[in-house]
A = this chain, B = another copy of it.
Amino acid sequence: MAKFVNDPANFVTEMLEGLVRANPDTLEWDREYNIISAAGAANADRVRIVQGSGSGHEPAHVMAVGPGMLDAAVPGGVFAAPSMDQCLAGIRAMNGPKGVLYLVNNYQGDRMNWDMAQEMAEAEGIRVGKVVINDDVAVQDSTHTVGRRGVAGNFFVIKACGAASANGADLDTLVALGEKVNDNVRSMGVALSGCRPPAKQDPIFTLGENEVEFGVGIHGEPGRARIAMKSADELMTDVFELVAGDLPFNKGDRVALMVNGLGGTPISELYVLYRKAAELAEERGLTVVRNYVGEYCTALEMNGFSLTMLRLDDELEGLLDAPAQVPIRVF
């Protein structure tokens, strides 16, 4: 299957150009370092929040920039970490009297470049806070990762920290909050197909008609096993048990429940899956007080889904309810 691309070398740039053309009043674009920022964010009197990671996971993270969410995103190439220079430029651009918070998903390349950028920024006297996200329970280590991978749970770290920053929280408070969200969120995904980065001729992996990559990573990293296809309910049950059993989520917990599409899955199927997830949560004695069904963190056109569950308290529930704005227009 072909793709809608021009020169693959320009793919990310052209995507960003489209994004900024579609949001001329709310987004700004530093073309030198490919920094997408919310209009006016660099002058906001509060801690500013930046995230950088590989592209190909949209809407994460360039389409999560806006009031109450990220102040800026620093996208690398497709499935490639942003360079140290980009990360440093992102920190500098979002620097202010109250410091900068960066959020990084746990992949070696991303973490190394952000760590170096942090060191250099701190040598310039910039106050930098860091939150590492590693919510994926599928595997302990992975192709690009020591420790667990960071996936769609990242959305909740953005939403909570974005809301708290808007409320005036200081840098240390935001770091603690981000870590609290990460400590209370768990995810896992499955795929029915691979996907094809624009510059590659071949899919990152291939599956037979009745095979499932169970525990897939968002760059196509292997999961726990390649298993035979099951019904939607059976697959969701397996995933739910691993996610819920990991924290673990216990009877009486209030949760936010997310069924995230990996890019190529129809939203109708996501709702079929959500139906089962909500039923399983109820059976476990959990109260679902917020839900999210759609695409939040994808792997290009991969057909698959992930389940993310966040344990809430009054603080987190309030932060999820806070106003926010992103470039995506629903109506």
Contacts from A to B (Cβ < 8 Å): 1-6, 11, 14-19, 21-22, 55-56, 58-59, 63-64, 68-69, 159, 192-193, 195, 207, 209-212, 229, 231-233, 235, 263-276, 278-279, 291-295, 298, 300-301, 303, 305, 324-326, 328-331
Whether A58 contacts B301 by the Cβ 8 Å rule is no
- Within the assembled complex, what's the spacing in Å between the Cα atoms of A112 and B179? 58
- Can you tell how many copies of this chain the complex includes? 2
Whether B301 contacts A22 by the Cβ 8 Å rule is no
- Within the assembled complex, what's the spacing in Å between the Cα atoms of A329 and B229? 29
Whether B55 contacts A4 by the Cβ 8 Å rule is no
Residue of B nearest to A159 (CB): B331
- Within the assembled complex, what's the spacing in Å between the Cα atoms of A251 and B267? 37
From B4, B64, B232, A272 is in contact (CB under 8 Å) with: B4
- Within the assembled complex, what's the spacing in Å between the Cα atoms of A2 and B55? 26
Known: A292-B329, A293-B329, A328-B330. 11 other contacts (CB 8 A): A2-B192, A5-B269, A5-B272, A18-B278, A22-B293, A55-B268, A58-B268, A159-B331, A195-B266, A263-B264, A267-B295
Question: A294 with B1: in contact, given A22-B271, A272-B6 (CB under 8 Å)?
Answer: no
What's the nearest-Cβ distance from chain B to residue A13, in Å? 9
Across the interface, which residues of B come within 8 angstroms of A265, CB to CB? 4, 301
From B209, B233, B326, A330 is in contact (CB under 8 Å) with: B326
Whether B291 contacts A15 by the Cβ 8 Å rule is no
What's the nearest-Cβ distance from chain B to residue A196, in Å? 10
Across the interface, which residues of B come within 8 angstroms of A300, CB to CB? 266, 268
Whether B292 contacts A232 by the Cβ 8 Å rule is no
Across the interface, which residues of B come within 8 angstroms of A68, CB to CB? 331
